[in-house]
Structures are given as C-alpha cells and as structure tokens.
Structure 1
Amino acid sequence: MLKQVTGLGAATAILLAATSTFAQDVTADTVVATVGETEITLGEVIIARTNLPPQYAQFPNEVLFDGLVDQLIQQQLLADSASSVSPRIDYTLLNERRALVANSVITEIAETSVTEEDIQALYDERFADAEEVPEFRASHLLVDTEEEAAAAKARIDEGQAFADVARDVSTGPTGPNGGDLGWFGEGAMVPEFEEAITSLEVGGVSEPFETQFGWHVATLVEKRVQPQPTLDQTRRQLTAELQEVAVTARLEELAAAQDVVKPEAGAFDPNLIDSIDLLD
C-alpha cells in the first residue's frame, strides 16, 4: 500500500514505502504515486526516464526516480487544475500516438525482414560482376608559361627526379610535396589533365599541356583497379536498402487492403496548414 504523503517532496517517502514490494512482482502497471484519484505508474516513470536529455545520465537512479515522480505529480496537479483542454493538445496526442505506433511497426519490419542471405545476395548483385574502375596516382608541376613547362620537362628528361623539379618550380599547392596528387578516379580532374594522365604508361612523363590553371607537366606514378568494398564495409548500407524495400512493400500491401480516400485536387487550400488559429 502507498502511504499518503503531503507536499511535492513526497517521492522519497513513496519510494521507501515501495521498497517493501521489491520481493513481489513489479510490473509497468505498479502504482508508485497517486494524485487524488489519478494513479501514476512505474511505466510512466520509465517512459519519463527515457525522454530525459543525455546529461541526466550522470545522476544515480535513486535521484532520478525521486525527481521524475515529483515531476509527474506536479504535471498531474497542473493538468487537474486546467478548466479546459485546448484542441491543439488532443490533435498533438493523436499525431504522436500514430507516429509512435507506426515507428514500432517499422522497427519490427526492419528487424525481421532482412536475413544474412538477403544481404549476401544484394552484395553479389551489386559488386560481384561490377565493372572494374581504374584509379591513378599522379604527380604534376604547374607553371605560368609553356616555356617554363618545357624547361622543367627538359630537366626531367636529363635525369633529374620529377619530385625535385616540381619542388623547385611548381607554383601549385602540391609543389612542396613534389607534386604528388595521390589517388584519383576518372572524372576527378579537368578533362585536359585526365587525358594527359590516361595516355601515359606508369613512369611516363607528359609533354607540357595547358589547362585553365596554367601549364603542366605530369607523370603517372601508379595505376590500379579501384578496390571493391567488402561485405562488412557495405553491410549497413545494404541492410538499410533492404529494410526500406521491405517497409515500402508492407505499406503497399496495407494500402491495397484498406479503403484509403485522399482529398481531391483543389479540395483544400494548401495554405490552411498555417491556420494555427483553427486549433484555438
């Protein structure tokens, strides 16, 4: 039995009184407090706990329990004092209940609709026979004129290391690191640069060529096929895709089984969605 207590600090006394029930079965419907004829259950306290901001995790549960029960009591007192309830609250509750129930169904579909075999099959379909995509690693040097580019190319042809010449003459941001551009795929560079690089053999050095940025000399350092992602790397994405397909299919099935009536075109002024005054 709950003890009758007074004041808004009653939660501690209620908690102490409830300790005698620990040996008994406690459910979400177990009453932890009353306000007049209204019962506040353990389930309501648990839900209130889940809605607390993350910073409240630092508090021990005995402090949180006390505070949450006090909060629910205060809210009930204030709610009981209201002479009327705005329709806005009723509509909000309808929307929130609909959303909560719908989300629980979505979660159930997501957790039960996708198997490991489904994920493997989609991975195989997506990547097993995927076209190989080449990637290039190149270095370049950038100067203002064709003459400067030709002079830099001559130094490289004479045996100077490409990186040393790039550090010496390049005005581009990669100059200090020898012109290294790292790895890139097709379409990542301006067309003139991509054409020059893709026409080279590994180790080859281009003739001077011009882009919108200036004059270049480039070398193809390495070439490879873009590595395919592993199943583990793509598992989350593939699972999400399959879950979305399952939810969509379920929605179509449910819609086909129901008599769904939507408003005819032009039946309502779309600006009505801003008519907050209709809720007062």
Structure 2
Amino acid sequence: MAFRHGITAAAMALTLALAGPGNAENHLAADTVVATVNGTDITLGHMIVLKQRLPAQYQQLPADVLFEGILDQLVQQTLLGESVDELSLGSRIVLENESRSLRAAEEIQRITDSAISEDAVQKAYDAAYANAEPETEYNASHILVATEEEAQALIDELAGGADFATLAQEKSTGPSGPNGGQLGWFGPGAMVAPFEEAVVAMEVGTVSVPVQTQFGWHVIRLNETRLKDAPALDAVRGELSEALRREAIESRVVELTEGASIDRVEAGSIDPNVLNDISIVIE
C-alpha cells in the first residue's frame, strides 16, 4: 500500500469534517459515505476496518496522511474491481473461507462474552482455591556427584563438620554447585520423584542419605519449609478466564457437532500432499 504524503484540499476538508468538533452533529456512523465511485459508495466503516488490518508501520503514520491514503486505496480498488465481471475460483474460495472464519469468530466472541462474567470467574476461583489446603514449599540445597560412594563420602565429611556450601562449590557437578548447591524455593512436582520424595520425608536442617536420580547421586540438605497460601483472585484471573473461555467453546462445539449431520472423507483416502497443488484452485 503506497500513500502519497501530500494532502489535497478536498481530502483535508473531508478529514476535518469527519474529525472535527461537529462529529456529534454529523452523526458519524459506519454507513457514513466518504466517497462515491461510479455509483458505488465507500463508507467510513470501510475505512475503519481497512485501517485495523494495515501493517504496523502504516498504523504509525499521521492521521491526515493515513486518512487520505486509505481513501485513495479504496477508491482505486473500486475502480480496478469494476473491470472484473466474476471472481476467479481461488478468490471465490478465499471469500468463502473468510466468511466462514468471521462467522465462527463472532460466535466465539459471543460465547466468550457470556462465559467470562465476574460471577463465573469468582465461582471458578472458589472451586479451585476456596477449600484448597495450603501447599508446602521447600528450600533445599544439594551436591550432585557421579557415584553413591562419592555421595556417602560427602555425607561423612558433613557429619564431621564440613561446610555444605563449600563442598558443593568444590565437588558438585550440577549447575547449582557454584552457588553452594542452593536450589531456592520449590513446590510439589518441581523436582524429579526420588528427589522430591526424599525432601518431603526430611526434617529442616538435616542432610539426606544418598539419593539417586537420572542425573546422578544427590546429597540433600533441607534448609526451610513454608506454607504457600492460595493466590489472590487478580493473580489468577487471566488463567481462570482462559480456562472458562476454552471450556465454553469446547462445550459449544460438542453441542453443535452432536446436533449436526457431518460427512467427511475417510482418513487416508486422499493423499495429504495434494494440499500443495495450487493448480487445483486455478481455473
């Protein structure tokens, strides 16, 4: 899309008429006619919708330049389109797909608007968190080595008074070694099963026996535990809204599918590579 950067007097006058203080008196609406080409009206609605689909770099142009450029494009498209008596097969199919997509999008929006009410979000929050038990989180450190013998030797050194962080920095092969083996806070499911099971069974301040995982052998020290309260509603609002939206759409699709008559080709009856054959939609 190419815009001229000069503004004609007529275009500027139209811009000012549409954008000026008299908007309320002019009763601007989607069907406000901004140009007529050989009897075909171009409306303000056409311009607004076209603007929404422009690439980002055009969206940043000054309003007056953008207004004239969009109007120019619609006028030129109307003139060029008058020369075509009938759309090609490919273009007709594009229109059918666009219509199908837009209709589906409007139904999805209707479903979403109905499903994601404040009351529905609150009920989803209560169902997920109101009766949930506080979750225990753990703060632990570990030293990772290749063999059980190495792990046991480290445990013996710790029992003799060695510093855990220093041993981790010197001996651990894991990425937390340089940080003294500190893993920070984590909740259930964050660690592989054998490691988590060992941590859950430990008392704060104690060191584990050698624990084997697919990464090697661990010596674990449990530093602290804490109870994690349920998150505030606003912290999970987006997550809950998306779940409500997804469930409502899936439910509607199931409902429509069960009440529809659908015949479709059997899987494998058409070579899927045919989708690459553009000649099929060229007349």
TM-score after normalising by structure 1:
0.79
Counterpart position of 2:78: 76
Cα deviations by residue, 1:198-252 (Å, 9 ceiling, x for unpaired): 3321001123444444443221111234443321122122222223444455556
User: What is the aligned counterpart of 1:15 among 6, 11, 15?
Assistant: 11
Q: Secondary structure at the match of 1:219?
A: strand
User: What is the aligned counterpart of 1:161 among 152, 163, 167?
Assistant: 163
User: What is the aligned counterpart of 2:237 among 235, 238, 242?
Assistant: 235
Distance 1:127 1:70, change over 3 A: same
Counterpart position of 1:4: none
Does the Cα contact within 8 Å between 1:139 and 1:218 map onto a contact in 2? yes
User: What is the aligned counterpart of 1:34 among 36, 40, 52?
Assistant: 36
Cα deviations by residue, 1:116-157 (Å, 9 ceiling, x for unpaired): 222222211112223554332211223345554344323322
Q: Number of residues paired by the alignment?
A: 271
- Pairwise CA distance, 1:13: 4.5
- Which of structures 1 and 2 has the bigger CA Rg? 1
Counterpart position of 1:127: 129
- Pairwise CA distance, 1:65: 0.8
Distance (Å, rounded) in 1 between the aligned partners of 2:30 and 2:51: 13
In structure 1, runs of 5+ residues without a counterpart are 1-7
Distance (Å, rounded) in 2 between the aligned partners of 1:76 and 1:61: 22
Counterpart position of 2:261: 261
Does the Cα contact within 8 Å between 2:5 and 2:65 map onto a contact in 1? no
Distance (Å, rounded) in 1 between the aligned partners of 2:267 and 2:193: 53
Does the Cα contact within 8 Å between 2:36 and 2:42 map onto a contact in 1? yes
The percent identity for this pair of structures is 43
Counterpart position of 1:201: 203
Does the Cα contact within 8 Å between 1:11 and 1:70 map onto a contact in 2? no
Distance (Å, rounded) in 2 between the aligned partners of 1:187 and 1:204: 21
Distance (Å, rounded) in 1 between the aligned partners of 2:5 and 2:37: 13
Distance (Å, rounded) in 2 between the aligned partners of 1:28 and 1:39: 12
Distance (Å, rounded) in 2 between the aligned partners of 1:166 and 1:10: 70
Q: Secondary structure at the match of 1:216?
A: strand
Counterpart position of 2:112: 110
Distance (Å, rounded) in 1 between the aligned partners of 2:107 and 2:82: 33
Distance (Å, rounded) in 2 between the aligned partners of 1:173 and 1:89: 57
Q: Secondary structure at the match of 2:174?
A: coil
Q: Secondary structure at the match of 2:142?
A: strand
Which amino acid in the other structure matches residue 124 of structure 1?
D
Distance (Å, rounded) in 2 between the aligned partners of 1:40 and 1:9: 22
Which amino acid in the other structure matches residue 25 of structure 1?
H
Cα deviations by residue, 1:155-195 (Å, 9 ceiling, x for unpaired): 32233332123223333322211111222334443444334
Distance (Å, rounded) in 2 between the aligned partners of 1:9 and 1:186: 61
